[in-house]
Amino acid sequence: MKKGFLIVVLSVLLSGLTAYAIVKSTAPSQGEGEQAAYTSDGQAVRTVNLSLSDYPDFTYAAEHAVDAVVYVKVTIKPQQQQQPQYIDPFLRYFFGDDGFGYGGGNRERQGSGSGVIIRPDGYIVTNNHVVSGATTIEVTLNNNKTYEATVIGADPVTDVALIKIDASGLPVLQFADSDKLRLGEWVLAIGSPLGEELRSTITAGIVSAKGRSMPSNSREFKIESFIQTDAAVNPGNSGGALVNKQGELVGINTAIVSTTGSYTGYSFAVPSNIVQKVVSDLIDFGSVKRAMLGVTGGTIDDKVAKEYKLSVSEGVYVSEVVKGGAADKAGLKSGDVITGIDDVKITAMPDLQAKVNSFHPGDRAVVKVLRDGKALSLPVTFQDGNIENGTVGSDGTVAFYGAQLKAAENGVEIVSAGSGKLAQAGGEDGFVIRFVNDQKVSKPQDVVDIAKKSKRSIFIEGVDRNGRPGYFGFGKDE
Query: What domains can be seen in the chain, in order of their start residue?
Result: 68-165 (2.40.10.10), 178-284 (2.40.10.10), 291-384 (2.30.42.10), 398-475 (2.30.42.10)
Question: Over the stretch 304-341, which tens digit does the pLDDT of each residue have?
Answer: 888 888 888 889 999 888 777 889 999 999 999 999 99
Cα 368 from Cα 195, distance rounded (Å): 46
Does pLDDT of 137 surpass 90? yes
Residues 6+ apart with CB under 8 A from 78: 95, 99, 100, 101, 106, 109, 133
The SS3 of residue 73 is strand
DSSP bridge pairs for 411: 408
Alpha helices in 27-111 (DSSP H): 59-65, 89-95
Q: Provide the percentage of residues in the chain whose pLDDT is more than 70.
A: 78
Phi/psi region, residue 144 (left: phi>0; alpha: psi -120 to 50; beta: rest), is left
- Residue 207 confidence (pLDDT): 96
Asked if 376 and 368 touch (Cβ cutoff 8 Å), the reply is: yes
Secondary structure element (H or E) that encloses residue 18, with its range: helix 2-26
Q: What is the mean pLDDT of residues 13-20?
A: 42
pLDDT value at position 108? 77
297 pLDDT more than 90? no
pLDDT confidence of residue 330: 94
As a whole number, the mean pLDDT across the chain is: 81
Higher pLDDT, 50 or 28: 50
pLDDT digits (tens, 9 = 90+) for 357-370: 889 889 999 999 99
Buried b (16+ CB within 10 A) or exposed e, 366-392: ebbbbeeeeeeebebebbbbbbebbee
The 10s digit of each residue's pLDDT in 235-260 is 889 999 999 999 999 999 998 877 77
**What tens digit of pLDDT does each residue of 181-211 get?**
999 999 999 999 887 778 889 999 999 999 8
Question: Could you give the CA distance from residue 88 to residue 317 in angstroms, rounded to a whole number?
Answer: 30
**Residues of the chain above pLDDT 90, percent:** 46
Region of poorest pLDDT, from 33-42, 140-149, 392-401 = 33-42
**71 pLDDT exceeds 90?**
yes
Contact indicator for 413, 374 with CB cutoff of 8 Å:
no
- How many angstroms separate the Cα of 301 from the Cα of each of 52, 223, 230, 313, 336? 44, 20, 26, 6, 15
The pLDDT of residue 81 is 41
Residue 27, pLDDT score: 44
What confidence score (pLDDT) does residue 457 get? Answer: 87
pLDDT given for residue 369 in this prediction = 94
Assess whether pLDDT exceeds 90 at residue 273. yes
Q: Which of 7-16, 48-57, 207-216 has the highest mean pLDDT?
A: 207-216
Q: Tell me the per-residue pLDDT of 382-414, one tens digit each, with 9 for 90 and over.
A: 988 666 788 776 567 888 887 889 999 899 999
Q: Which amino acid, one-letter code, is at 394?
A: S
Instruction: Show which residues are catalytic.
Output: 129, 159, 238
pLDDT of residue 260: 74
The helix/strand/coil state of 349 is: helix
Q: How does strand 457-463 pair with strand 469-475?
A: antiparallel
